[in-house]
Amino acid sequence: MTPEELTPDSPFTLPGFFDALSDGRLVAAVCSCGEVLVPPRTACYACGGRDLELEDQPRTGEIYSYTEVRTAPPAFEDDAPYTVAVVELDSGARLLGRVDADYDAVAIGDDVELRVRDPTEAEREIALSHEQDWPIHVFETV
Ligand SMILES: [Zn+2]
């Protein structure tokens, strides 16, 4: 990839990644070594290579690890307790996100599906000005 190819609307940038997510596309960069990077990066964090191709990702996967947030940041105090998880997508990529289920109702290996929604008022308040309209992803148990 040349610097000229890395435009602000490219999914290799966070604004481009979230624009694609707003349009319903979860995009990753897949390295020639097999690593899947979500969000896409211009260099692979496994091998350092730059031979990366954009690829749409499945919205389904399973809980790889999870925990409960009981002491939330001030902006999310009203949400606590809530569950967050590392989800391994069916492509092998791992992605962190909230789970729309109580901690006691979640287990490692549970099937989940990614849903995208608009940010809440609290999420908009803590976001940087250019991030305020970025969509929020949540994993739902299926
Ligand atoms: Zn690589």
Same-domain check for residues 52 and 62: no
Domain count, the chain: 2
Distance from the alpha carbon of residue 28 to the mean position of ligand 1, in angstroms = 13
Which pTM value belongs to this model?
Answer: 0.88
Same-domain check for residues 73 and 38: no
Residue that terminates a domain, selected from 42, 57, 72: 57
Same-domain check for residues 30 and 93: no
pLDDT of the residue at 111: 98
Distance from the alpha carbon of residue 48 to the mean position of ligand 1, in angstroms = 6
Same-domain check for residues 91 and 36: no
Please give the residue range of the domain that contains residue 76. 58-142
Distance from the alpha carbon of residue 118 to the mean position of ligand 1, in angstroms = 32
Same-domain check for residues 125 and 106: yes
Task: Tell me the average confidence (pLDDT) per consecutive run of 10 residues in the chain, 142 residues long.
Answer: 80 90 93 94 94 95 98 92 97 95 98 96 91 94 94
Is residue 86 exposed (0-12), middle (13-18) or buried (19+ Cβ within 10 Å)?
A: middle
Residue that terminates a domain, selected from 15, 30, 57: 57
Q: Which of 46, 47, 49, 55 is nearest to 12 (CA)?
A: 55
Distance from the alpha carbon of residue 137 to the mean position of ligand 1, in angstroms = 26
pLDDT of the residue at 2: 76
Same-domain check for residues 32 and 69: no
Residues ≥6 apart with Cβ < 8 Å to 46:
31, 33, 35
pLDDT of the residue at 6: 83
CB atoms within 5 A of ion ligand 1 belong to: 31, 33, 35, 44, 46-47, 49
Question: What CATH number has the domain bearing residue 73?
Answer: 2.40.50
